[in-house]
Amino acid sequence: MAEGRIVVSELTKRFGADTVVDHLSFTAEPGRVTCFLGPNGAGKTTTLKMLLNLTRPTSGTATIGGITFTEMAEPLRSVGVVLESAGAHPGRTGRDHLRVVAATMGLPDTRVDEVLDSVGLTTAARRRAGRYSQGMRQRLGIATALLGDPATLIFDEPTNGLDPAGVHWVRGRLRALADEGRTVLVSSHLLTEMEMLADDVVIIAAGRLVTQGPLDAVLDAAPAPDSRAKPGLESVFLHLTQEAEVR
């Protein structure tokens, strides 16, 4: 699955006079969960949109497996995406939603049943998506992203609004997907949860890279708030992003 590597290089986005992503470069590697972190308005969603060709970069490049999203012959089979806003039609059952998406990709209904099973949604699959709990909606989103067996998965705030069991489940699922060799990029604000999940972190503030690297290395490099304890991701994040904003 090495083909799923994400490479963001000198990516820049301006809206009028505002530079919201500023010469940003980072990578997300196959077989690892990379957590993409930054304060509100830092440019995370804009970066993900450029990666997925939902917004055109002002300059720079963002590639997945060496090519841009637009260059992919079968993007839905290469990249699975779970964005916060994405959802099924409320009047459609979960299974029917997946069948419609599968049909556009030329996939059989047997694949729908496989992904339903893999996210634990088989029994709820014949209920209308409009009646799903937040946790079921999140599982359906993940099932949709997995349909084409993509090498790369991109999640925007995957644990927002979930109860502790739901959060635990999503974390386990994302870990398993990375362990299968997939590239997993997760954008989130929830630092404690990300600390339990991340192999690598990419932290941005005001559109610029603040730091990136393996979680342990990022934590080790940070100045300890006191000599007794190793700092956690939250204190490192606050320290680095506040420092970046002051500059």
Ligand X SMILES: Nc1ncnc2c1ncn2[C@@H]1O[C@H](COP(=O)(O)OP(=O)(O)OP(=O)(O)O)[C@@H](O)[C@H]1O
Q: Which residues bind ligand X (CB under 6 A)?
A: 15, 20, 38, 40-46
Q: Which residue lies nearer to ligand X by CB, 118 or 160?
A: 160
Instruction: State in angstroms the smallest separation of the CB of 225 from ligand X.
Output: 25
Q: Which residue lies nearer to ligand X by CB, 151 or 162?
A: 162
Q: Is there a contact between 142 and 119 (Cβ–Cβ < 8 Å)?
A: yes
Q: Which of the 8 DSSP states describes residue 67? A: B
Instruction: State in angstroms the smallest separation of the CB of 93 from ligand X.
Output: 31
Instruction: State in angstroms the smallest separation of the CB of 207 from ligand X.
Output: 7
Instruction: State in angstroms the smallest separation of the CB of 75 from ligand X.
Output: 21
Instruction: State in angstroms the smallest separation of the CB of 44 from ligand X.
Output: 3
Q: Which residue lies nearer to ligand X by CB, 38 or 65?
A: 38
Q: 187 - beta bridge partners?
A: 36, 156
Whole-number Å distance between alpha carbons of 36 and 31: 16
Q: Which residue lies nearer to ligand X by CB, 48 or 115?
A: 48
Q: Which residue lies nearer to ligand X by CB, 15 or 181?
A: 15
Instruction: State in angstroms the smallest separation of the CB of 20 from ligand X.
Output: 3
Mapped onto helix, strand or coil, the DSSP state of residue 144 is: helix
Q: Is there a contact between 203 and 237 (Cβ–Cβ < 8 Å)?
A: yes
Mapped onto helix, strand or coil, the DSSP state of residue 66 is: coil
Q: Which residue lies nearer to ligand X by CB, 46 or 212?
A: 46
Whole-number Å distance between alpha carbons of 69 and 118: 26
Whole-number Å distance between alpha carbons of 242 and 173: 32
Question: Any long-range contacts for 165-170 (C-beta under 8 Å, 24+ apart)?
Answer: 165/135, 166/134, 166/135, 166/138, 167/193, 169/120, 169/135, 169/139, 170/138, 170/142
